[in-house]
Structure 1
Amino acid sequence: MGTLKKPILNKAYNYLEATMSNVAEKKKTTLKPLADRVVAQRLESDETLKGGIIIPDSAKKKQEMAKVIAIGPGKVTDENKTIPIPVKIGDIIFMDKYSGQEITIDDEEFIIVKADDIIAIVE
């Protein structure tokens, strides 16, 4: 068996060190919605709600369910007053099926919807 030469070991070490520093530098992106917008993640059909309620696919055809990830400050009126958004982070919401803007960040899918497109909050 031969031994590895020192230059090969140095190259391997330098590569490993560079790879580890790239991983350490990678930060998770945060989303901060503006105005009356809400950032949410769609729930899969087999996910369970609070209290153990499972919503079947047939009940989800016309609306979409999502978990609220972030909320904007609210809608600003003509009188420069802010109307707060009636949901909080972690709420499960129903929203119009074709509403919102779908985005992908850090390999995760999100949807940004206006507060007016939220149909209901699951309690």
Structure 2
Amino acid sequence: MKLRPLHDHVLVKRLEAQGNKIGSLFVPDSAQEKPQEAEVIAVGAGTQLKDGRRVAMEVKVGDKILFGKYAGSETKVGGDEYLILRESEILAVLG
């Protein structure tokens, strides 16, 4: 199945956490926070203005982004976990 976000929505896949050790302590997966960095998988067409024009999206497929802790909606498709969020919920594009 293929997902195509609508309007100003972005489909992202979280990047893997950097590690599971703090100093010499092992931190189990259940105690770790989910990463707030992701890679853009697909983007919508952009916001449609009242006069019918579309505002182009600033992010593109392949961009690495930073988003808010509670942003977006999680979904699972074909065993893979994705996050769908609005472009306005993206805080930064990582360089």
TM-score scaled to structure 2, two decimals?
0.80
Cα offsets for 1:52-89 (capped at 9, x unmatched): xxxxxxxxx7x711000000000011111101110110
**2:91 counterpart residue number:** 119
| Identity between Structure 1 and Structure 2 (%) | 33
- SS of the equivalent of 1:116 reads helix
Higher RCO, 1 vs 2 (CA within 8 Å, ≥6 residues apart): 2
State the distance in 2 between where 1:64 and 1:79 align.
Answer: 35
State the distance in 2 between where 1:68 and 1:87 align.
Answer: 8
The residue identity in structure 1 corresponding to 2:16 is E
State the distance in 2 between where 1:98 and 1:77 align.
Answer: 27
1:106 aligns with one of 62, 78, 95 = 78
Gaps of 5+ in 1: 1-28, 48-60
**2:23 counterpart residue number:** none
- SS of the equivalent of 1:87 reads coil
Q: Kindly indicate which of the two structures has a greater share of residues assigned to helix.
A: 1
- Higher Rg: 1
State the distance in 2 between where 1:98 and 1:75 align.
Answer: 22
In the TM superposition, 1:48-63 aligns within 5 A as none
**1:73 counterpart residue number:** 45
Q: Kindly indicate which of the two structures has a greater share of residues assigned to strand.
A: 2
State the distance in 2 between where 1:97 and 1:85 align.
Answer: 22
Query: Which structure 1 residue ranges, 4+ long, deviate > 6 Å from structure 2?
Result: none
The residue identity in structure 1 corresponding to 2:41 is I
Q: Please, what is the CA RMSD of the aligned residues?
A: 1.6
**1:93 counterpart residue number:** 65
